[in-house]
Structure formats: structure tokens, C-alpha cells
Structure 1
Amino acid sequence: MIKRKRKKILIACDSYRTLLGFRGKLMEALLKNNEVAVFTPKIHHDEVRNKLLDMGIDIYENELNGSNVSMFSDLMYMFRLFQVIKQAKPDTFFPYTLKPVIYGSFIAKICKVKHIVPMLTGLGYNFMNGNDKTPLVKIIVRAMLKFSLKLNGNRALILQNRDDFETLINQGIIDQSVNAHVVNGSGVDLSHYVFSKPDSENIVFLMISRLINAKGIREYFEAAERIKSRFPHVKFKLIGPYDPNIDSIDPVLYQKISSGQIINYLGEVSDVRPHIKESSVLVLPSYYGEGIPRCLLEGMAMGRAIITCDSVGCKETVDLTENAQTGFLVPIKNVNALTAKIQHFIQYPADTLLFGKNGRAYARKKFDVNKVNKQMLEILEA
């Protein structure tokens, strides 16, 4: 029997925080038949570094800032990646998120990597409609993305929702010849995010997000402010780091949030599970241009009803089928609609239990990480 040669797979990301939470199970699966390395911005938490090393993953670090525009930083990133690919000699290059996809696909092509599999985990700001302070940046990013994906020919491209595929087609970024695969987000580990019965008597609303405008931070705060004036006993919580980029919330709003008068702001936490367990409903009024938001999958897996926007990526998480409903969809930037749905759960608390139970079933049916990773393995190991 001929033993299969172990391939080398190099994974590139724009934040080390996503490696274990979003790709941990995928890397475990890849390691069964392959050697795996990661190209990541500098890791500042020893537990993340040690876990990766314990798994047998090679680590290559860089100075990329995924949120900000910096030509010098981006050029240094490309030069460092060129060095890493020449050293590691990967058979497969798997970049995910925008900058690693754009720059990484280009460098990997120059270095003649045989199998390049970019994944776009949402299209973000650069494909959002409406007022835009940086139209030139949008134009440049779209042109660069088109160029990098065209270099890859009709090889595999992974997306996390069908809307992103249609957007890329309609804007001429890709054409129908592209071998595109749509997967159900990053998936969620149902053995890690365990179901628990929500407290329907003491209602707690929780939002998990970076503090940027497009995630709907202001809408969440204003809805909470309205609800607290009528139902002062209801609690609102917010988890997530302040993100210093072009779309950061303004200092006045940040100060209001940090004061704790309306929302209990907990900052960034290492493990969201205890906080989801203490919550009744998960809220994410995002219009960011998501892939499929991870926090909503985590909430559903743990049996939490959700309120989110009828926007790209977010709407994928809500099943509105009769007797199987998992939550509510509201129009983007609509504080009135968001407030109304929050109030619904206060007035009909039994729906937190019903929708939460349905959410767990929907997560098992559609977003189980093992199902998602099976599809990912078929693409990456092709």
C-alpha cells in the first residue's frame, strides 16, 4: 500500500484571535493528513501560542494591522509572506479575510504555490452601500481583490453566504467560471457551546461585537436606552474590544457605554460562554457585510433566541419557519424596529425558551462545525 504524502498547508489570517476559535477544529482535522503552519499577526497571548505549538502547528508572525490602511505595513506584510512561503514551501495556501486574500493570493502566485484557496469571511466596508467617507479606498480595494482573484484563475474560492457570491459577480470581481464554494460560516462546535435553558424571568440582552458603527453599536445603545426608561429592571450587556479604525464609534458614545448607566460594558473577554449562559437573548443589529457572524452561531448553539438585521450574513442565522422560529430580523439602522423586538421578549418571555430551543436545533442542522469542516477539507485537500 502506497502511503499518502503529507501536504503542507499554510493558513494566513489578519488576527491571531480567530485561529483557535474560528479555525481550531478545522486545523485539528487538517493535521490528521497534513502538516499545518499559520501566518499570523503577532500573538500576544501565551495560551494561544502554546495551544498552537502543542497541536504541532508551525507559527510564522508578521506586523499586519487588519483594520487600518497602511501602505508601509502592507508592503512589509507581503515581503514577510514571500520569505515564509520560500521557507515553508507549502503545497496549499489558505488565506482568509480581506487583506490576506488580496496580498496573500498575489504573493502565493508569484511563489508558484500549486493550490491557492482564498476564503472571504464577509465583504465588510468596501462593499457596503450608502454614504462613504473613503470612496477611493473602496475603488482601490475592489480593484485589488479582482486582480488577486483573477490571478488564481478558476481555482477554488470559498465564501460564507450566497449574497457575497452574487455581489462579486454583479460587480465584475469574479465571473461564472470561478470555482466558488459557499459554506455555512465557520461552523460552531456544539460540544463546546453547550445548550442551557435561558432565564425567562430575569431577561438579559447581550451583544458581542467590536465597537464599530457598522456592527450596530449605536442602535443597540439607543434601543436599550428606550427600553430602560420603561422597563428599568431589564439588563443589557455588551462584550467586545474598542476597535481603533476608520469606523470606530465616536468618543461620546463610547463614554456613555462605559459609564454603565444603560449597558453593562464588559470589554473583551477570553471566553464568551459564561456570559451567553447568563443571557436570555443575543442581539446583533449589524449591517457590516458579514460572512456569517460567529457570535450568533455561538448564541444559537447555547439555546439563545437572537435579534439581528435583515442584512448580508446575519439573515442566514434566523429561521422564520412556523414552529421553528429562532429569532427576529429587523431592518438595518432601525432603532424603532429593534426596540419593538426587544420589548417582545420582555412581554412574551416564553419565546426566549422556544426560540432558543429552535436555535439549538437549527445550529445542529445547518452550522455544526463538523459538517462545515467536512466540506472545507474536501476543498483544501483536493
Structure 2
Amino acid sequence: MKFVFFANTDWYLYNFRLATARRLQADGHEVVMMSPPGEFGARFAALGLRWVTLPMHRASLNPLREAATLWQLVKLLRRERPDLLHSFTVKCAIYGALAARAASVPAVVNAVAGMGYVFTSDSFKARSLRPVVKALFRATFGGVRSLLILQNPDDATAFAASRLARPDRIRVIRSSGVNTTRFQPVNPPRRRDGRLRVLLAARLLWEKGLQEFVDAARLLREQGRDVEFLLAGMPDPGNPRSVNAPQVQQWVDAGLLQWLGHVDDMPALLHTVDVMVLPSYYREGVPRSLIEAAACGLAIVTTGLPGCREVVTQHGVDGLRVDARDARGLADQIIALDDDRELLWQLGCSARQRALADFDERLVIQRTVDVYAELMPNHVGMQRFHASREVSI
């Protein structure tokens, strides 16, 4: 069989879907990665994966440009003739579903990780786009040869209640998975009596709780607390709610945090910190930073909003929860961990067990290929999917 994976950045395909592509390769299938041009795409060739580029502007609303993008996608799919198209993110899912119909692609899987900017922002632009995006969802996500993968039950309920997709066409697969062998607790463990190091790793969007993170750092400094705040991630020029680099530099100059920028070796970084914080009020799927931190046995502090509560299911058991937009509450939870290093250790152990049970990428990949097999049960090659259902951890 031939698969095409389509996303709005090559970075996303490389970091989040490479393991699935390689699993398909190992099962004897061909996988083509498709995205706009970028610096990660060239890495696919070394792994025997072909990469094709599609000119696409994530934030564009120009009708002529978008029509040209859609037509280019149709032409690419007609040329590649995949058995199945798997599209990721809202815009790619909509465009992919429309183009797949025009190109007669036999099966389509759409993956939407979180509701995104259009559904979470109160800006005029987001509110204006919302009814259009909803109409496109309803028009594109209803095919009998297509399925929609969402990352948490809250999104599944929201999509069904709003009639954005039929409940029988929705599948829930929690997260894109994490390699629990690569991401594992540091050995020997970090000293529990040292300076507490707190990390927020995410795209630099306001809705990720960056202001609350900075305000918590300021509150702890005012109290004389010796806690180190680290920020990993880069601005996202394609998102209207991105924090710009000069703003982050102001926080650095004020002594509130260290900015690490883009980090290639996340396991190495996670082995140097004690706590992962994500005070997000973004409509997350399941945040990758949280499951990576859980796999490394870190204590997690996050909100109880959809997506985040898939990782921290019980406050005080597998992590700590705070209210959204509550910097004081976030500061108090960090203080609790600074004062109680036994709690810090216990939460990290529970988080690791949670990652092994629910977020191991081998489980996630198997659930994904099961969706493929569901769409094409009689296709040659599906037997190999079913023959490899047992996953050992």
C-alpha cells in the first residue's frame, strides 16, 4: 500500500509522525511525506522516505492563493495515487479531504489535535473564521471512506454535539505518542535537595500560559524563592497569538527566566529539570511536552482543561492542576513542590507509569494502523497490520 502523510510543516511530520511512517515502512508499505518547504524535510531521504513539497501559507486568507494551493494538492495526489491520505491539523485536514475527493483517493484519515486558534481565540479574525471552518468540517468529514482521529474525549464530544462530524466516524487516540525508551527517567536520579528547576516547553503562544508562567516567576522572586524558570520554544509566525522574540527577551533581561529557544535534544534537557509546567488555556489535543515529561518521570503542573487533563488525571496523584489564567495558583503549586521533595518524586513516578500505560508510541502507532485497517479491511497488506497487533512494553 501507499500512504501520504500531509501536514502544514515538515517539522511536525519529522517530530510527531516519523515513527508511524517507519512502522509502515517496516510492514512493507510506501510512505510519502508532504508539507510546505522547510529545513527538516531533507532528513527524510536518509531514512528512505520520499518528501514532496506543497506551496502553502498557514495564515493565508487570500481566496486566489488558497484555490491555487488546493489545486496543487489535487494534482499531487493524482500524481502520487495513494491508497490512503492521512492529514494533520485543521487546515490540512480540510484541504486534504477536499483534494482527496477530487483525486479519487480511496481512503482518508483526518487528524485534528485540539481545536486550535479559530476555536479558542476571542479575536475578531477567529470569530469571523469560526462559522466558515465549521461549515467546511461538516462538508468534508462525513465520507464513508474517511475517519476523524481526535486526541481526547472532550473534543470528540464537542465535534459530535456541534455536528462537525458524525459520532460513528470519530476515533479517539490519546496523543501522538512518546518513545518511552528514549524518554525515560535520568539514572542516577537528580538530587532532591538542589535548586528547583521548572520548565515550560511549547510554541510561544499566549494561550499556552506564558504570561502566567512569567508572573509566577516574578511572584516567587519577590518572595525570595530560589527557583529557576526555563522556557524552551520559538515564536510561531503563522499564529496571530504568537509571543514575539523581543517580548521574551524583556523577560530574560528582567531576570525572570532563561530562554533556551528551539531544543533538539529534549531528553537531555528533561534530565536536568524537576518540573514541567504548562498553564495552558489553549484547546489542546494532548500536549506533547507533558507526555515527554511524564515519560521522564517529572512532576507536572498544568490546567484541568481538555487535553491537559488527559495527562494529569487526578490532582496530587499523577501531577498537580491549577486554574487557567491563575498565576498565583501556579506559583503556589511550584512552592508546594519546592517545599515537599517527596511529593515531587512521587508525582514523577506516577507520571512515568501513566506514560507507559497510555502514551507509549508503540500503542499509539498500533491504534493508528488499526484505523487504517478499519477503512480498508480487504486491501492487500491489511493482514500484516492485524498480524502485528500485539505490542510489548
TM-score by length of 1: 0.91
Note if 1:347 corresponds to 2:339.
yes
Structure-2 residue corresponding to 1:43: 38
Structure-2 residue corresponding to 1:108: 100
What SS is found at the alignment partner of 1:361? Answer: helix
Structure-2 residue corresponding to 1:268: 262
Note if 1:234 corresponds to 2:204.
no
CA shift in 2, pair 1:129/1:86, >3 Å: closer
Structure-2 residue corresponding to 1:330: 322
2:159 pairs with 150, 168, 171, which one?
A: 168
Structure 1, unmatched stretches of 5+, are 1-6
1:174-189 equivalences under 5 Å are 174-176=165-167, 178-189=168-179
State how far apart, in whole Å, the 1-side matches of 2:197 and 2:230 are. Answer: 7
Instruction: Kindly indicate whether the alpha-carbon contact (under 8 Å) linking 1:37 and 1:58 is maintained by their aligned counterparts in 2.
Output: yes
2:301 pairs with 300, 304, 307, which one?
A: 307
State how far apart, in whole Å, the 1-side matches of 2:18 and 2:148 are. Answer: 20
Structure 2, unmatched stretches of 5+, are 377-393
1:270-310 superposed Cα distances (whole Å, 9 cap, x missing partner): 22222211110000111111110001011011111101111
What SS is found at the alignment partner of 1:134? Answer: helix
State how far apart, in whole Å, the 2-side matches of 1:163 and 1:64 are. Answer: 30
Note if 1:202 corresponds to 2:192.
no
State how far apart, in whole Å, the 2-side matches of 1:30 and 1:149 are. Answer: 24
State how far apart, in whole Å, the 1-side matches of 2:322 and 2:226 are. Answer: 24
1:40-74 superposed Cα distances (whole Å, 9 cap, x missing partner): 121214xx523x11322111112323355444543
CA displacement at 1:156 relative to structure 2: 1.7
State how far apart, in whole Å, the 1-side matches of 2:97 and 2:191 are. Answer: 47
What SS is found at the alignment partner of 2:286? Answer: coil
Deviates more, 1:350-359 or 1:251-260: 251-260
What SS is found at the alignment partner of 2:216? Answer: helix
Note if 1:138 corresponds to 2:130.
yes
Note if 1:377 corresponds to 2:372.
no
1:311-343 superposed Cα distances (whole Å, 9 cap, x missing partner): 111110013277xx2211111111121111111
Q: Percent identity, please.
A: 25
CA shift in 2, pair 1:72/1:349, >3 Å: farther
Q: Counterpart amino acid of 1:14?
A: N
Q: Counterpart amino acid of 2:334?
A: I
State how far apart, in whole Å, the 1-side matches of 2:221 and 2:59 are. Answer: 33
Instruction: Kindly indicate whether the alpha-carbon contact (under 8 Å) linking 1:14 and 1:41 is maintained by their aligned counterparts in 2.
Output: yes
Note if 1:18 corresponds to 2:12.
yes
State how far apart, in whole Å, the 2-side matches of 1:337 and 1:312 are. Answer: 19
State how far apart, in whole Å, the 1-side matches of 2:306 and 2:65 are. Answer: 30
TM-score by length of 2: 0.89
State how far apart, in whole Å, the 1-side matches of 2:183 and 2:150 are. Answer: 24
State how far apart, in whole Å, the 1-side matches of 2:234 and 2:62 are. Answer: 21
Instruction: Kindly indicate whether the alpha-carbon contact (under 8 Å) linking 1:118 and 1:158 is maintained by their aligned counterparts in 2.
Output: yes
What SS is found at the alignment partner of 1:306? Answer: strand
1:127-182 superposed Cα distances (whole Å, 9 cap, x missing partner): 227565531112212222221113x2473211111111111112121233x32110
State how far apart, in whole Å, the 1-side matches of 2:320 and 2:77 are. Answer: 45
What SS is found at the alignment partner of 2:141? Answer: helix
What SS is found at the alignment partner of 1:278? Answer: coil
CA shift in 2, pair 1:24/1:154, >3 Å: closer
2:276 pairs with 282, 300, 304, which one?
A: 282
Structure-1 residue corresponding to 2:207: 214
Instruction: Kindly indicate whether the alpha-carbon contact (under 8 Å) linking 2:219 and 2:328 is maintained by their aligned counterparts in 1.
Output: no
Structure-2 residue corresponding to 1:4: none
State how far apart, in whole Å, the 1-side matches of 2:301 and 2:155 are. Answer: 22
State how far apart, in whole Å, the 2-side matches of 1:26 and 1:189 are. Answer: 12
Instruction: Kindly indicate whether the alpha-carbon contact (under 8 Å) linking 2:137 and 2:165 is maintained by their aligned counterparts in 1.
Output: no
What SS is found at the alignment partner of 1:168? Answer: helix
CA displacement at 1:353 relative to structure 2: 1.3
